[in-house]
Amino acid sequence: MFIRQLEYLVTLAREKHFARAAEACHVSQPALSSAIRTLEAEVGLVMVERTRCVCLLLVIALLFNNVVRGRRWPDLWF
């Protein structure tokens, strides 16, 4: 797992769209998607439900995102 992958996940959580997240990270959409898939494989969990128009972060990804951003565990539930 690389910091870059975590940054991509945080940006994807904010943007909720792969193309916009890729633009914000200054990478191509396929590169961002590949990094997220690699992260999912490394942790053994699907974090993003990919649809044609928008991506939905699954609960595990939202929790992971909050941990990456430094929020305390009690803050994750509200």
More reliable by pLDDT, 21 or 61: 21
| CATH number assigned to the domain comprising residue 16 | 1.10.10.10
Question: What pLDDT is attached to residue 2?
Answer: 83
Q: Does residue 15 belong to any structural domain of this protein?
A: yes
**14 is in which domain, residue-wise?**
3-71
Q: What is the dihedral of CA 67, 39, 55, 22, to 10 degrees?
A: 100
- 19 pLDDT more than 60: yes
pTM above 0.75, yes or no: no
Cα–Cα dist 20/77, whole Å: 27
Look at the chain and report how many structural domains it folds into: 1
Cα–Cα dist 11/5, whole Å: 10
Question: What pLDDT is attached to residue 76?
Answer: 47
6-18 pLDDT, tens digit each = 899 889 888 888 9
Cβ atoms 24, 11 nearer than 8 A: yes
Q: Does residue 76 belong to any structural domain of this protein?
A: no
31-77 pLDDT, tens digit each = 999 999 999 899 888 888 877 665 666 666 666 766 766 765 555 44
